[in-house]
Structure 1
Amino acid sequence: MRASGQKDYLSLIKGLNTETSALAFPESFTSDELNFVINKDGLIRKRRLGFQDLVTPFVITGGFAAVENVFYWRGPSLVCVTVTDDTPQTKLRFHAVDDDFTFIAEVAISSAVVKTQIAETTNFLVITTDQGTNPVMCEYKELTKEIFVSSVKVNVRDFELVDDGLEISEQPINLSDNHKYNLFNADWHLTRADLEDNKTEKLVTTAFKDFTGVYPSNAQVASVGIIIDEGGDTVFSSKDVKGANFGNSKAGRGHYVYDINDFNRDAKLLNPEEDGAPSTTLV
């Protein structure tokens, strides 16, 4: 005997529906579609036939010219393209997001063929290279629709405790260059009126040695002794520092700032007041 029955067909003519719960999903809708162009009316779809060119192809010139990186910068809505050639050089090009991929401007960012990494915030774009050169920063001025390109000089603050051969809480009788640097990098380079010596102006390091017979340890904090006296003057009291309990924790440090490519601690001892912090890192 031949079995008979009713077979249901789903036309799926009503389009894509991504909002309705699966427990009450309406008939003739789909919840997901692969490789179809979705029309706004939801009634007619056609299969996507491969990739489609969205912009006009562009040509780069130069010997062995190549596109090295492409990045979409959301702030100004631009496409950033890094291009290399055998000059050698690497250039950064800006293109509009339109049908013609309109070229806007370009700037050389390296005199070598480099690989780049690109990161952004809304109005800033930062480009680093594999050659260890200064990063490049692009700033988009929304008001004037301008882009300013700068090289960023990298500086670091010195938070390291230099090996001076001392325990953290050890107070030496003599002052080595390394311990002197550690103290100065923790604000013991300051000059103040010495409360225990008739307010004579001197280095707080010297004032502490004159009062206690030893130099400060790497745990002691100079700012504890900087106070306002009864006459309203800012002075340094070695007695206050001596009476404080600092334990074995290192004092905070980081007074000195260095160019990342010129880390010369010895030079700081010649002029301890100069911390080395630049007024700007943009070149």
Structure 2
Amino acid sequence: MNTAATGAASAPSVVGVIGGGRMGAGIAQSFAAAGSSVTVVESGEHAAAAALDRVATGLTRAAERGGLDAPAEDVLGRITVVGSVDELPRTSDLVVEAVPEDASLKARLLAAAERALSPATVLASNTSSLSVTDLASALSRPGRFLGMHFFNPVPASELIEIVVAPETEDATVGLALAWTHALGKKDVVVKDSPGFASSRLGVALGLEAIRMVEDGVAGPEAIDDAMRLGYKHPMGPLRLTDLVGLDVRLAIAEHLHATLGDRFAPPRLLRDKVARGELGRKTGQGFYTWP
């Protein structure tokens, strides 16, 4: 398989992304900007158009910041949207699954993609908390599979968390690290465990911040300012919860609660907000009101 040159590292020439939501679109944008030819899988005409629109919007913003080495329209031209994993290029170097945190859905799509792709293709899941080992059990070639946990917003984020399952081959990890650096990002490598490193620590902080609001200790802005100004966090835990999505944070907390115990029990306030549809920025209301 070939590579596309980008700086001191080499991006994969052919990339697939399963899912064109906020995360999938960001992953597609990042690889396309690095020179890769990208195929996004998103079913339905409306969803496909929305995925392309997300990428186009992201590229416009990147161009305004001076973050593109090529015109935005040229980068967008490297991206194709198809309706099924069966339409992914067989010779893809890398295919990243970026659908919602539903283990059965992820496993089904990864297995279908594996059947459609070359044995040399590396498969990765963008899961932020689900067991990479369990997902690998659905595959015939688990050695070519690992977690590549991207962070939102993907184009601007510095980090990719590389999650290694017991059967992941060293060569697969090496390729993932090289591609991470080709995107201009940094890596942390962790073994597969509930919540990995980032979600486990990030959710613990976020849940405690929600409990503090619930207990009347302080309002969201005061709690966020305490962490931002006092501990130099770029963003407070409650604003970050709004950005990630309260529903996403609840799903991760429930998984960690089931696997790691009561310290990850979701607060009632979080459950109530999700039940009311207050999911954060994507709905206009979470711990903050968003335009």
TM-score class normalised by the smaller sequence: under 0.3
Compute the TM-score of the two structures, normalised by the length of structure 2.
0.18
Report which structure shows greater RCO (CA 8 Å, sep ≥6): 2
Which of the two has higher C-alpha Rg?
1
Q: Which has the higher strand share?
A: 1
Q: TM-score, normalized by length of structure 1?
A: 0.18
The structure richer in helix per residue is 2
